[in-house]
Amino acid sequence: MTTTKPLVIVTRKLPDAIETRMMELFDVRLNLDDTPMSRSDLGAAMQEADVLVPTVTDRIDSKLIAEAGDRLKLIASFGTGVDNIDLAAANKRSIIVTNTPGVLTEDTADMTMALILATPRRLAEGERLIRSGEWSGWTPTFMLGHRIWGKRLGIIGMGRIGQAVARRARGFGLSVHYHNRRRVHEEIEAELEATYWESLDQMLARMDIVSVNCPHTPATYHLLSKRRLELLKNDAYIVNTSRGEVIDETALTQLLTTGAIAGAGLDVYENEPAISPKLLALDNVVLQPHMGSATIEGRIAMGEKVLINIKTFIDGHNPPDRIIETMF
């Protein structure tokens, strides 16, 4: 590339410290009012930019990539998941894609544990009651939930986040079980005192709480299908801080409505930001607005990874967080 500063187009508002450093390093076009880009705006940006910095809400499909300008050589995504980007199409155009792995593990695990606590103990329901002004006082049988101490937690996806959830869960007296594409190393199993289930179906049928911590890929779309959700015990709870598409949300809503599943704690949704009115109407669901990774520290760490990926690429080296071809 030339010595001229590359044009970097950022699709959403980022932390001030990150935007300031970007301005120092590159020729940057920021999104100061944080208005989501339309598809046409995104296409126009991809026509002009040397580097595009999208977020997980920007859908960059094969058509957009095929129509991108010749200058676009790097998509430095501000986020860990890249299911919103057609990686095969980017690879075909020799466009490098990077993400920001590893920096959101503890934040997402904290949110997962918060939902594991909040859902069986009906915390959101109790908070709504207090705010309504209709609470009439304590009674022995009022707002009874379930303790989590001594219960079995089934983790779907024992990567960095799944392992961080397991460490927290042990502190709350939960017995850790997991299903993963590949069994983790025996030393990790021993540290977490985790029981491996090769069969997801068999694990689901035996758990008191299920936590979804796997990424969204073609293989995990509706991994928790209606058939699999029906395997859960009627006093079981499900928590999802991964991606909404992993669960058949329509089937989940039906089972929660009939009491076939006791409750759910959700931070992600299949068609977000749209949420089914039927889901919103349920008292046995704790709903959060996709804020599992929303900490100041986490967002700055993400931005710093984006900066490093861009600077490394501009300097003619392989970015450290490049999505390798074998992941397509």
Give the residue numbers marked as catalytic: 243, 272, 290
Q: Would you call 200 exposed, middle or buried from its count of C-beta atoms within 10 A (0-12, 13-18, 19+)?
A: middle
- In whole angstroms, what is the distance from residue 313 CA to residue 320 CA? 9
Which residue stretches of 176-290 are H helix?
Answer: 186-192, 200-204, 226-229, 249-258, 277-280
CA distances, 189 to each of 132, 162, 175 (Å): 46, 12, 12
Q: Would you call 30 exposed, middle or buried from its count of C-beta atoms within 10 A (0-12, 13-18, 19+)?
A: middle
C-beta separation of 96 from 325 below 8 A = no
Six-digit token pair at 216?
């969204």
Contacts of 284 (CB under 8 A, 6+ apart): 122, 125, 256, 262, 263, 264
C-beta separation of 279 from 254 below 8 A = no
Question: What residues are paired with 66 via a beta bridge?
Answer: none
